[in-house]
Each structure stands twice: as C-alpha cells, then as structure tokens.
C-alpha cells in the first residue's frame, strides 16, 4: 500500500469515463510473479499453447473484468459510513483490494474470493493480527467496523456467491517490492523468526482453524502428471519428474526435523510494507500450520533466481538466526523446501485446463521452473534427459 498519489475513481453509476486500465497511476500489490505476468499478457508467448489470439482475448477481457470488480467494491462500500468515498484498484489475486479515500482518511478494502473463508476464520485472522501488534509490536492493519458494528461483512454478489469483506486502516510506508536489498532481507528474516517463535510458544487461535499441512499432502505436490496440452519441453519435463522423485525422498525428513507452527505462506513483497527500518504485514490471509522451514522457503523463493541471490539469502538467515535459535539447524533443509514450493507452483499451473486460465500463468510456470533448476544445481541433482 504505497504512498503514491491516487486520482479520482470513476463513478460507474453516472457513466463517467473509464480510467486507464494499463497500470498507469496504479500501485499494484500483486506478487512479483503476477506483476511480471500482468505486464506481459499481450506480448508474452509461451509455446505452444498461447496463440497471439488467446493473448489478445485475455487482454481485451481485462477492462470488462475491472468494471465488474469496481461495481462489487462500490456495493461493498455501502456497508460502511463513507458517503462519496473514492476508489482506486490495487490488486486482484485471491482477494480484490482497493484503496479508499474519504474525508482525508485512507483505507484498504479487501473483498475475499467467494467460498475461500468462513466468517469465523476471518475473525480469527483479525484477532491474530491484533496479537502480533499487541504482543510483538509488529505492524498490522486494523479492521474498521461497518454500519452494523461488525468487522467482517458478508456481501452477496450478482453471481449468487457470497464474499467476505473487511475494511482496513491504511498503513504508512512503501511496498517492500520484488527487488529487496540485503538489509531489507535481514529485516524480513527477523520478522519471520519472531512470528515463528511466537507461534511455537503458544498456538494462536487462528492456527486452530487453518489448514494443517501433512507430509502426505506435500508428497502429492511432487506428482505432476503429463496430461492435457504439451506445454513443457522435454528438458523441462525431465527436470519436473526428476525433482519430483528426489523430493519424495526428502519430504519425510523435512517434516520430521522441522518444528511445525502457524506460518505465513506468502510473506513476500506484495504483503509487506516498509517504513524506514520497520517492516509491517498488510495481509495475514495466507497462513497455515506447516514446518516452519517451508515458511522460510516461501519467503526466499522470490529471490532465488536474482543475481545477488546468495547475498540475499545470507542476510535473511542472519536476521532469522538473531531471533530463532534453530535457524542454523534448519538451513540444510532450505534447498529442498524451496524446490518443493517451486514444484507445487508448477503442479498448480499445469493443473489448470489451460495455463492461460489466469493471465500470469505462463510466467509463473516459467519462473517456477527457473527456481526448480537453480535448486537442482545447488543440491547436485542430475536432471538432464
């Protein structure tokens, strides 16, 4: 949620001119992979399944989809005492997020995907954010009550599906982004270690209602079936299959040796806000109970293929070790953990009917393969066909 200037949003009900939808003036909060992909939807082509016609169709669909999203946001704002509020689109991933300005104050409106969460789960998430802020001093956004006094609003959509809405206070700072410095990675390591230590000492109520990842479930991430369109070259398939076999041997050890606790499974640039040397979290939606080394791996996956990846990794681990006494013990589990996260993404995208089902699908697939190959090289796994 950066400090960039935001213009006045269109009034859909009056038929006002539609804003530029090519990203100008928008501070998006998508993950690094998704941000790359949304910039490349029109001209990026991943052979053989993405024709220029398919890419063009996806690009033309964006304005229509954005209009629907604005209409949904306007409907959500009716639940709050914010007459004449101005809206600005920020991101669309698992949640829709808008910047809201009213009477000199700024908020973030989050509209959850239909069926993703229950009311109790979202309330537990908000309570966890309060715990992080009150107990650890970690900045998290505060929820704002609606007209009915409730922090979570159930919003029926025109499609017959209900979405859960939360309005948050706006947090000061700039987006952590996808080009962190070693100093920023050290801050991230410290932040994550504090969260892990807190969750290990006592189980937050939020953890009791979140998914608990088991070794058997993680083993299924290694099963990537060669079905549907032939979207991967032989060398990429050899990489996926070999790493799947290798990780099947490592997963039991990973789950046995790493402590398990509530972890944030998407603690990266799009969910972090930097204010000087203070790092805050703007979204606690993607939390689950899992080996803490997988949480560490998720934070590092986004930097694994950068030119200064080794420096960033060392800084992150130094920050982690300054807080968490078991950081060094877990370090030799990191490479297979990062590879597992990357393979999970490959499996997820290839599981779609078409990898262009979401505009960023091709680039997520490409970057995940790069991470997987980098980890194979680090671990000395022979993957050539």
Q: Cis peptide before 48, with omega less than 30 degrees from 0?
A: yes
pLDDT over 90 (residue 254): yes
Give residue-wise pLDDT tens across range 54-91. 555 555 555 777 888 888 999 999 999 999 999 999 88
- Name all domains of the chain by residue range, CATH numbers in brackets: 12-30+60-172 (3.30.200.20), 182-379 (3.90.1200.10)
Q: Tell me, what's the pLDDT at 62? A: 58
Q: For the chain, what is the HEC assignment? A: CCCCCCCCCCCHHHCCCCCCCCCCCCCCCCCHHHHHHHHHCCCCCCCCCCCHHHHHHHHHHHHHHHHHHHHHHHHHHCCCCCCCCEEEEEEECCEEEEEEEECCEEEEEEEECCCCCCHHHHHHHHHHHHHHHHHHCCCCCCEECCCCCCCCEEEECCCCCEEEEEEEECCCCEECCCCCCHHHHHHHHHHHHHHHHHHHHCCCHHHHCCCECCHHHHHHCCCCCCCCCCCCCHHHHHHHHHHHHHHHHHHHHHHHHCCEEEEECCCCHHHEEEECCEEEECCCCCEEEEEHHHHHHHHHHCCCCCCCHHHHHHHHHHHHHCCCCCHHHHHHHHHHHHHHHHHHHHHHHHCCCCHHHCCCHHHHHHHHHHHHHHHHHHHCCCCCC
The pairing of beta strand 143-144 with beta strand 162-169: antiparallel
Tell me the torsion sign for CA atoms 287, 26, 73, 83.
positive
* pTM, to two decimals: 0.78
Q: What pLDDT digit, counting tens, does each position of 302-325 carry?
A: 899 999 999 999 999 999 999 977
Percentage above 70 pLDDT, the chain: 80
Least confident of 49-53, 72-76, 127-131, 343-347: 49-53
- The rounded radius of gyration (Å) of the Cα atoms in the chain is 21
pLDDT of residue 160: 83
122/138 Cα distance (integer angstroms): 19
Q: What is the pLDDT of residue 66?
A: 83
Whether residue 44 contacts residue 363, with contact meaning beta carbons closer than 8 Å, is answered with yes
234 by Cβ neighbours in 10 Å (0-12 / 13-18 / 19+) ranks as: exposed
Mean pLDDT, residues 18-43:
33
pLDDT score of 289:
95
| Maximum distance among all Cα pairs of the chain, rounded to whole angstroms | 62
- pLDDT beyond 70 at 229: no
Pick 33 or 68 by higher pLDDT.
Answer: 68
Mean pLDDT of 3-15: 32
Range picked from 34-38, 332-336, 354-358 for highest mean pLDDT:
332-336
pLDDT confidence tier of residue 326, bands split at 50, 70 and 90? confident
pLDDT at 217: 96
What span, in angstroms and rounded, lies between the C-alpha atoms of 257 and 152?
38
Higher pLDDT, 149 or 383: 149
**Binning pLDDT at 50, 70 and 90, where does residue 21 land?**
very low
pLDDT of residue 288 exceeding 60, the answer is yes
Query: What is the dihedral angle through the alpha carbons of 274, 94, 167, 272, rounded to the nearest 10 degrees?
Result: -10
Tokens representing 271? Answer: 């969910």
Distance of CA 65 to the CA centre of its chain: 21
Are 312 and 180 spatial neighbours (Cβ–Cβ below 8 Å)?
A: yes
CB of 375 within 8 A of CB of 342? yes
Is a pLDDT exceeding 90 seen at residue 186? yes
Lowest mean pLDDT among 134-143, 264-273, 352-361: 352-361
Please, are residues 49 and 231 in contact by the beta-carbon 8 Å criterion? Answer: yes
**Residue 54's pLDDT is what?**
52
């Amino acid at each position: 949620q950066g400090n960039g200037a935001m213009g006045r949003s269109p009034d859909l009900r009056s038929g006002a001119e539609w804003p530029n939808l090519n990203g100008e003036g928008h501070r998006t909060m998508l993950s690094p992979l998704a941000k790359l992909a949304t910039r490349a939807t029109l001209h990026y082509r991943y052979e053989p399944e993405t024709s220029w016609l398919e890419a063009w169709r996806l690009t033309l669909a964006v304005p229509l989809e954005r209009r629907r999203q604005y209409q949904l946001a306007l409907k959500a704002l009716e639940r709050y005492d914010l007459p004449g509020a101005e809206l600005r689109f920020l991101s669309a991933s698992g949640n829709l997020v808008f910047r809201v300005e009213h009477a000199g104050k700024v908020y973030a409106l989050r509209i959850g995907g239909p069926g993703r969460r229950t009311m109790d789960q979202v309330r537990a998430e908000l309570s966890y954010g309060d715990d992080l802020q009150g107990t650890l001093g970690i900045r998290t956004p505060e929820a704002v009550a609606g007209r009915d006094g409730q922090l979570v609003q159930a919003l029926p959509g025109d499609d017959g599906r209900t979405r859960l809405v939360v309005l948050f206070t706006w947090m000061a700072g700039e987006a952590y982004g996808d080009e962190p410095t070693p100093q920023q990675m050290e801050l991230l390591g410290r932040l994550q270690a504090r969260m892990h230590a807190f969750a290990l000492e006592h189980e937050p109520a939020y953890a009791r209602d979140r998914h608990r990842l088991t070794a058997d479930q993680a083993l299924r991430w290694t099963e990537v079936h060669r079905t549907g369109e032939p979207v991967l070259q032989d060398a990429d398939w050899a990489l996926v299959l070999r790493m799947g076999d290798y990780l099947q041997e490592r997963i039991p050890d990973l789950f046995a040796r790493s402590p398990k606790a509530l972890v944030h499974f998407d603690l990266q640039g799009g969910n972090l806000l930097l204010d000087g040397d203070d790092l805050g979290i703007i979204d606690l939606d993607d939390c689950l109970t899992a080996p803490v080394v997988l949480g560490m791996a998720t934070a590092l996956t986004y930097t694994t293929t950068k030119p200064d990846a080794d420096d960033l990794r060392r800084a992150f681990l130094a920050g982690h070790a300054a807080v968490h006494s078991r950081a060094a013990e877990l370090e030799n589990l990191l490479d297979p953990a990062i590879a597992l996260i990357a393979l999970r993404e490959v499996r997820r995208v290839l599981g779609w009917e078409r990898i262009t089902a979401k505009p960023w699908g091709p680039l997520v697939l490409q970057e995940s393969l790069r991470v997987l190959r980098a980890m194979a090289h680090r671990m000395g796994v022979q993957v050539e066909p």
